[in-house]
Amino acid sequence: MKMKSGVEQALCIMIMLATQLDKRPLKSTILSRRLAVSDSYLKKVMRELVVSGLVHSEAGKDGGFVLNRTPKEITILHIYEAIEGKESFVRPTNLAEKVFLHADKIKTKKREVLDVFFDAEQQFKNRLQKYTLESLLVEGAEEVENVDWETIASATEGY
């Protein structure tokens, strides 16, 4: 299984939105500069987060992106599925028919292999469901501090 790089970017974006000082909207340009990714690619990731309902886009001069739910309500699975989709990543290709010569073996072994992959997928998704965005924002007993990402972006513009 290979995840899109957008999953990692979405997770980082969500952390930035969750830690933004006073929960002010963040513009895509600030996010893309901080993450060192193209603004056009970042906007594609943002669109997927908006469509999934995790993020809200506010129009206007002071607009940008904000979380649509609290960090406690957002699981890592929500973020993963916003980018990768909800459909199974197990896609049989019917190659078993090429290596097992008897029809009964094809059916049995194919099912056996698919069951292993479907089980692994379920375990993977169950694990992602256990972690929330909030759990990533806590270090020991302390919460990660809020940041004014706009000020940091302005301070590092000349570099």
pLDDT > 90? residue 145: no
pLDDT reported for residue 63:
92
pTM of full prediction above 0.75: yes
Asked whether 17 and 26 are in contact (CB, 8 A), the reply is: yes
Q: How many domains does the chain have?
A: 1
Our CA dihedral for 119, 121, 100, 105, rounded to 10 degrees, sits at: 20
The residue assigned the tokens 């969500």 is 14
User: pLDDT tens for residues 1-44?
Assistant: 677 889 999 999 999 999 999 999 999 999 999 999 999 999 99
20 part of a folded domain: yes
CATH code, domain with 39: 1.10.10.10
Confidence of residue 108 (pLDDT cuts 50, 70, 90): confident
Q: Quick check: 68 pLDDT over 90?
A: yes
- Tell me whether residue 141 is in a domain: yes
**Can you give the pLDDT at residue 126?**
97
